[in-house]
Amino acid sequence: MRRIRLSHISPRDAVIIGLPALLLVVGAFWVAYQFIKPAPPGSFVLSTGAADGAYDAVGQRYRAILGRQGIRVDIRRSAGAVENLDRLADRKSGVEMGLVQSGTGEAADFPGVLSLGSVYYEPVWIFYRGAPIEDRLRALRGKRIAVGPVGSGTRKLATQLLLVNEAWSPPTRISSLGGEAAAGALRKGAVDVVVLIGPPENAAIRSLLEDPSVRLLSFDRAPAYTKAFPFLSTVKLTQGSINLLRDIPPRDITLLAPTANVLVSENLHPALTDLMMQAMAEVHAQAGVFQAAGEFPADKDHEFPLSKEAARFYKSGPPFLQRYLPFWAATLIDRAVVLLVPLFAVLIPVFRLAPGLYTWRIRSKIYRWYGELKLLELELREHYDTAHYDQYLKRLNDLEDRAFTKPTPRAFSPDVYTLRQHVDMVRNLLRAKAGD
């Protein structure tokens, strides 16, 4: 292919060739831009729980980890899982993420809420004073029972368990105390039973486990409960696992346990979801009293659909770029790659085809001139009219002038000079016809 310099291209030709190519490239970039997510925001709101609760403690750890990547987590405390879920479903609340206990709700009732998975077991602890009741919650009927504040997952599950055992209605007296306040009330004798839900590291739970005057109910009929409430699992608190020296607990105890789950609004930016999955793994992957190393986070609870970013994380781990680059750099490159698609798919082919299109355009002019010359030659040979000699000559001169004066790249000069020679041949034919 002949080499064409930009300086040889006329402005008109540059517009005719370049404008469609430019429009094609701009259109390709516009289409690619439609698939680019906006840059991730620098903050989001996480709904946790009471100030002395497990959810709030977990939220503080998430905030510290994401803060290292430049993301600010605004923690909004709540009464617990029920309120967190209501906030997530309310688009006006501003809450984009929350910790929610399994069994709190179902996806059909909370559209637009997705799951990132379960992060730990949170057993149901039923502490009481007095004679052993051996997994007979009906024996709690008529007692003063602290089940947690309205809006908490503890209260909701306690209600379900007491109702199925016909121990909720009067003469049972229900108290809304929870956490440390409930534990203190039990020690003082202000209530007879306390229902708490959370990990054994929770301060209120730990204090009651270590109190020798307080008993812990063992769910010996746990399989029956898990049949009635499929969102519950069975976990075992083994003898001495809380305090080996003091032998706490003094025997194996079977507990029922929902899971703590991280739920998000479907509007949460995917890049923040990816980052959150890594924070969850960092916080919850260690072995614990009730879990093996690497057991969490996991897709254990199926009440809400799993987000596609979480599903990808469980299958193949963090996104490739986030494994090796800071979060801001990884997200910047990830978004830029989408814009590189038109560069390789459209821009490069356009640049490769443009010289050929320009060559075709220049040659089409020369071929058009040859077409005029051929028609004139045929007219001279077959329909020559002496009265039109001057017109024939003018047409030849005009054709020669156009070929000579029209801006043509130097690479096509041989074609132009060849055309001029052929014009002379036809001119000689005209002179020969005139001399006949």
> Where along the chain do its domains lie?
6-29+343-435, 37-119+260-318, 123-257
Rounded mean pLDDT of 222-226? 94
Rounded mean pLDDT of 250-275? 94
Rounded mean pLDDT of 112-122? 96
Of 213-217, 271-275, 399-403, where does mean pLDDT reach its minimum?
Answer: 399-403
> Is 50 exceeded by the pLDDT of residue 435?
yes
Rounded mean pLDDT of 19-24? 66
Same CATH fold assignment for domains 37-119+260-318 and 123-257: yes
Of 17-26, 401-410, 425-434, where does mean pLDDT reach its minimum?
Answer: 17-26
Class of domain 37-119+260-318: alpha beta
Position 379 scores a pLDDT of 86
Of 2-11, 19-28, 244-253, 277-286, where does mean pLDDT reach its minimum?
Answer: 2-11
> Is 70 exceeded by the pLDDT of residue 238?
yes
Rounded mean pLDDT of 147-156? 94
Rounded mean pLDDT of 206-224? 94
Mean pLDDT for the chain overall: 86
pTM value is 0.70
Instruction: Return the higher-pLDDT residue of 414 and 272.
Output: 272
> Is 70 exceeded by the pLDDT of residue 243?
yes
Q: What is the 3-state secondary structure (H, E, C) of the chain?
A: CCCCCHHHCCHHHHHHHHHHHHHHHHHHHHHHHCCCCCCCCCEEEEECCCCCCHHHHHHHHHHHHHHCCCCEEEEECCCCHHHHHHHHHCHHHCCCEEEEECCCCCHHHCCCEEEEEEEEECCEEEEECCCCCCCCHHHHCCCEEECCCCCCHHHHHHHHHHHHCCCCCCCCEEECCCHHHHHHHHHHCCCCEEEEECCCCCHHHHHHHCCCCCEECCCCCHHHHHHHCCCCEEEEECCCCCECCCCECCCCEEEEECEEEEEEECCCCHHHHHHHHHHHHHHHCCCCCCCCCCCCCECCCCCCCECHHHHHHHHHCCCHHHHHCCHHHHHHHHHHHHHHHHHHHHHHHHHHHHHHHHHHHHHHHHHHHHHHHHHHHHHHHHHCCHHHHHHHHHHHHHHHHHHHHCCCCHHHHHHHHHHHHHHHHHHHHHHHHHHC
Q: Which CATH architecture has domain 123-257?
A: 3-Layer(aba) Sandwich (3.40)
Q: In the structure, what pLDDT confidence band is assigned to residue 310 with cuts at 50, 70 and 90?
A: very high
> Is 90 exceeded by the pLDDT of residue 144?
yes
